[in-house]
Each structure stands twice: as structure tokens, then as C-alpha cells.
Amino acid sequence: MSESRARRPLAPRRDEPPVIGSAVAFGRDPFAFYEDLAAYGDVVRFSMANYDMATVLHPACIEQVLVDDFGSFRKPKSMVDMSVLSEGLLLTDGERWRAQRTLLQPMFYRERVATYAETMGEYAARAVDEWVRQGELDVKEAMSTYTLRVLGTTLLGVDTDEHQAAVRAGAEAIRERTSENPVTVQIPEWVPTPANRRFRRGVDAFRDAIDDLVDERDGGGDDLLSLLLDAEYEDGTAPSESEVRSQLMTFLFAGHETSALALTWIVYELGRKPAVADALRAEVDTVVDGEHATLADLPDLTYTEQVVREALRRYPPAAAMFRETREDVAVGGYRIPEGTFVTVPQFHVHRDERWWDDPGTFDPDRWAGVEDVPGDRPDYSYFPFGGGPRHCIGMRFALLELQLALATFAKRFAVRHDHDDVGVDLGATFHPGSPIRARFEPR
């Protein structure tokens, strides 16, 4: 149960202009804005237009929100109203969420995920060959093509190649939408603003692609799509057609964009930090024997794992998580009122100098010899996959994919680019501020 609520003082509130609240300050520089919030303490209230908001910045408070007082929070209504994903695992709540999570969890058991390793490695090798031929390319696009292919084949049992453009347009529309602040998300989808029209176009293309993928499937497999189509919940109901569609969109979106971003930032750093690239190469040259990295190589790919961990710290693909209080909640000694939109920002906590030395530097060596993440820091000073009952269902899948892909890439190419600082487009995801263009040269 949460700390006794009634007697707690309200959490401190940021000094901000009336009406508009903190919307402008956040929009101007989200990193500086959260630094400013942190000056008020570890639990801070603020507002954006008519939204009452709060953030939690201390690992113990974050654990309370995600784990101990899980039941006092739900996904924010303004996000759940995003029609395309509303019936999928990321946004459902209560009993429906629990039933979906129970149904889908077996797809992500350790033994099951291990069976995807061969495809992850093989597709990485194939992708590199294509990139070398292409010359300079947009890294995020290239990585998205790779992660989407892997996801389609391993989890969904479909070939996404023909539908890449539509799925990516849909994912981009959703990314744009979830990257806006809650003030703009609030404008209903049917209002024909330019942003809403763009969103609709992207999502319609995505929906058509999903319908085609469902029609094209062979049937009878043991992939996620077959599982959904044949499912029956404990209460005897089955997922409706719109739920199946929403679920597929959820997995296509959540499962490819995040991993693609992690790989993109890694390639960016490899091009900037020759010492990291050299250390990685030295490791894969001794460990990886064949065309691509395999499951058997993993225990020896320790530096590769350090690079992945550091990328997820410095560039957390899910930049922040969002909740809404169902009731008054006491967190870190303060009261957060019912109906408050609460942010849990990885992008800020992963750089907090209380837990991280020189946090702005990409330094895989900080993970050397650290077996139990996050090492001697408090739990939830590092939480790229969230935590508690709603932690990322695809975590094992993602970690396996990132390590196999990275080891395979490092074995087969050297990356070259001229970027100094691409900046960050920070929303729900940690996105490069401008496209990262690079050349992949065979080794």
C-alpha cells in the first residue's frame, strides 16, 4: 500500500507562468527543463496548459510508482485515446491488460526467444552486405529495415518487406504523435489540423498493411499472430478483429522502432569513438567465427554487451514513461493528487550525477565487471526497459537482437561518418535531432 496519503504535503510545484504553464520551457529544451525541475526536489509538480503534471526523479520514488504502488496508476487517458494502439498491450489497463499479458508472455520466454537468434544473426549479415553496396545511407532507416524484418519473421510469422514503407509511415505517425506534449495530443484525432491529417494518413497506410499481412499469412503457425487469432481469454471471450489489429500495430511499433534507435546511436558512437570501435572489433575477431554472431558466442561477447548497456543508458530509446494517478498517492513523502499526469524520465535519471560519473560521455567501460545491472547504484537509477508488472515484454528479445546484430556488424564492417553532434529530438522516444548518414565499409 502507498504511504498514508492524507497527511502528506503536496509535492513542490515549479514556478511557472499562468495558463501555459511549462509547455514553452519544455518545448525549448527538455533536458534543461528537467534540470530545472530537479532543483525543486525528487517529486515535482508542474503544468502544461490545463494538465496537472508531476515527475519523479529519485530511483526509490520510481520504484514506488512502477512496482510498489502499481495499482494506484494507470496509463494516461490522453494517450489511451490514441485510437490505433488503444486495444494493444502498451495501452490497455486492468483485467484486459492482464489477460493480454498472460496470453502473450509465452512468446517471450527465454527458451522461445533463443530460437530467434539464428534469424537475428543471419539477417544482420545480410543487411550489412546490402549497406556496403548502397554507399552512404540514413542509419535509422537502415536499422529500422533490419529490426522490422527480424520482428516480422520471428514473432509475427509474416514477411514485412513489401509493407516496409507503410509500417514505417505508421510508426513515424505514432512517434510524432507521442512526441508531442499532452497539450497537443489533447486535440481530438478528427479535428483536421495539419498534424492530425499527417497522423491519419500514416495510420491509414499502416492499417491497410496490417490487413494485408493478416490476409497473407499461411495460418496454423505458432507465431504471435496465430496465437491472437486463435486465442480465448479466461472469461470465454476472444480478441475482436480491432483488438488483433491494434495488438499487431503495437508490436510492430514498439518492437522495431526502439531497437532500431539503439542500433542507430551505437553506429553513431562507433563512428565518433575509434577506441570503442577498436575494442569491439578485437572482441568479435576472437569470438565470432562464422558469417554472423550466434547464441553460443554470447557468453564471450562481454564488451559487446557493455556497449549495448551504455547505449541504453546514454540514449534510452524509450525516453520516458507516462502514468496517471487513479487516486491521491504519496510518493517520496509528498502527495500527488488524483488525476495527475506523471512522467518517469529515463533520459534524465540515466544522466543524474548522483548515480553516474561524467554522465554525458559514452563510456562502455563503466560497465566492465558489472554483473548485476545497475551495479552498486540504486535499482531504478537505470531502467531502459521500465519496471514492475508492465516492464517491457520484449526485453530479452531486444537484448539478444542488439548483441547479435552489433557483433555481426562489427565483424563485417567499419562505419564512417562526419557528424559531430546530431542533437536529439526528444519525445516519447530518444530520436536523433537530424538524420545520421554514414558509410559502411567492408573490413
Report the first-to-last Cα separation within the chain, whole angstroms.
57
Closest CA to 304 of 111, 112, 121, 131: 121
Q: Which is nearer to ligand HEM, 89 or 183 (CB)?
A: 89
Compute the least distance from the CB of residue 341 to ligand HEM, in Å. Answer: 13
Minimal CB distance to ligand HEM: which residue?
A: 394
Query: What is the DSSP secondary-structure string of 299-348?
Result: GG-HHHHHHHHHHHHHS-SB--EEEEESS-EEETTEEE-TT-EEEE-HHH
Q: Which is nearer to ligand HEM, 25 or 113 (CB)?
A: 113
Compute the least distance from the CB of residue 103 to ligand HEM, in Å. Answer: 11
Q: Which is nearer to ligand HEM, 25 or 405 (CB)?
A: 405
Task: Give residues in contact with ligand HEM (CB under 6 A).
Answer: 89-90, 101, 155, 250-251, 254-255, 258-259, 262, 317-318, 321, 384-386, 390, 392-394, 397-398
Residue type, 15: D
Cell of 309: 548497456
3-class DSSP assignment, residue 79 = helix
Compute the least distance from the CB of residue 217 to ligand HEM, in Å. Answer: 17
Q: Which is nearer to ligand HEM, 43 or 90 (CB)?
A: 90
Q: Which is nearer to ligand HEM, 206 or 397 (CB)?
A: 397
Compute the least distance from the CB of residue 70 to ligand HEM, in Å. Answer: 10
* 194: Cβ contacts below 8 Å, ≥ 6 apart: none
Q: Which is nearer to ligand HEM, 8 or 140 (CB)?
A: 140
Compute the least distance from the CB of residue 394 to ligand HEM, in Å. Answer: 2
Compute the least distance from the CB of residue 262 to ligand HEM, in Å. Answer: 5
Residue type, 432: P
